[in-house]
Structure 1
């Protein structure tokens, strides 16, 4: 996956969101519960891992992402970017102030070790669902 280099360098905090629905309009944050906050080395390691996601082909599922990350700079005002991950159709949709249109939609191979490691990090961050 390609993340804007300036955004990676400026990120001090990542918010992990368990997505509950699609946004009401293009560019709006994905609704859901913030389940974790990663800072420092943890944020840097997560961005490095995401940067290694190998490109893949689109699979058809209708885009139903389960998790997103929001990357913030020091001010913690607006997110530099938000990236929503669908492990079914292998699609990543990204938006934010640091995202050029050419990077807004990307496809990754969700079956690879980096993608499975990322999915495991998301699952570990998400609280167990109520039974």
Structure 2
């Protein structure tokens, strides 16, 4: 999966959100409860899993994402990027200041090890 390299390098904290609905508009945060904060090695490992998600093909489900990650730098005042994941249609939607338009919608292979590991991380932190 393609994430903005500069934003990934600047990430100090990842906020994990259990999505409850679709956002009200493009580029607005996905609503839901924050279920975890990852820093240090946990944030680095999660970004590596996301970055290693192999490209996949679109499956039709209507895009019903379960989780998103929001990346913050050290100041914690602005989201660098947010990525929302639907493991049913294998789609990720990414938005943020450094995200090029061609990276806004991506498809990943949800049957691979990195995707299964990422889903397991999300499930482990969700009450």
Work out whether the TM-score is over 0.5: yes
What displacement does 1:98 show? 1.8
Aligned length: 127
Q: Normalization by structure 2: what TM-score? A: 0.98
Q: Distance in 2 between matches of 1:98 and 1:69?
A: 15
What displacement does 1:75 show? 1.1
Q: Normalization by structure 1: what TM-score? A: 0.95
SS of residue matched to 2:83: strand
Q: Distance in 2 between matches of 1:95 and 1:78?
A: 13
Point out where structure 2 has 5 or more consecutive residues left out of the alignment.
none
- The answer on 1:72 being equivalent to 2:85 is no
1:1-131 aligned at under 5 Å gives the runs: 1-127=1-127
Listed one character per residue, the Cα deviations across residues 79-116 of structure 1 (whole Å, up to 9, x for unaligned) are: 10000000000000000112111110100000111100
Listed one character per residue, the Cα deviations across residues 41-96 of structure 1 (whole Å, up to 9, x for unaligned) are: 11011101111100000000000000000000111111100000000000000001
Point out where structure 1 has 5 or more consecutive residues left out of the alignment.
none
Please give the root-mean-square deviation of Cα atoms over the aligned residues, in Å: 0.5
SS of residue matched to 1:80: strand
